[in-house]
Amino acid sequence: MTTRTATAVFAGGCFWCTEAAFELLRGVLDVTSGYCGGDAQTANYPAVCRGDTGHAEAIRITYDPDQISYAQLLDVFFEAHDPTQLNRQGNDIGPQYRSAIFYADEQQRQMAEAKIRKLAASGRYRQPIVTRLEPLTAFYPAEPYHQDYARHHPDEPYIQAVAIPKVCKVRAKFAELLADPTPRQGP
């Protein structure tokens, strides 16, 4: 039996932390850290860190839509970061850390718009949601040392301070979506 796959591309701050939050979900087959929103020539960490390439640090989620839906991934996305911070997440500042959904088709765009409208109407946030909807034109995988970074470096202070709290929040809020609901240490 062949598994159906689909992809979602999100930017919600540092890709190390966002990647870690999605890797624990049932039906998520792969999460790749990378760059989205700029061109191929500037799709590298030193250039993106300058903040002037148009790229965001993003993740590409390959998932089985029979196990987890795009709508559920959107729920996790909005829970795993602060969509009201413009061009930043916490101490990570610059347009490369913007909140963005890179939609692959009209259905993804419409679902993302509907989710943002619903969240805005809910009164959950004191500030307006600034998540951008951008068409997915290309996704450039980040350098190999960025892949699964939180998993390979769980004791690094930045991972302890930023990634692990996101992972714990997703575990607590979305226990029914976890691939392995057993709590464990680290991302």
- The residues annotated with a catalytic role in the active site are 14
Dihedral sign computed on CA atoms, order 109, 5, 178, 184: negative
CA–CA dist 87, 61 (Å, integer): 22
Which of these, 183, 168, 166, lies nearest to 18 by C-alpha position?
A: 166
Amino acid in position 141: P
CA–CA dist 30, 22 (Å, integer): 9
Could you identify the residue written with the tokens 């002037």?
A: 52
Which of these, 175, 163, 179, 164, lies nearest to 57 by C-alpha position?
A: 163
Cβ pair 9, 61 in contact under 8 A: yes
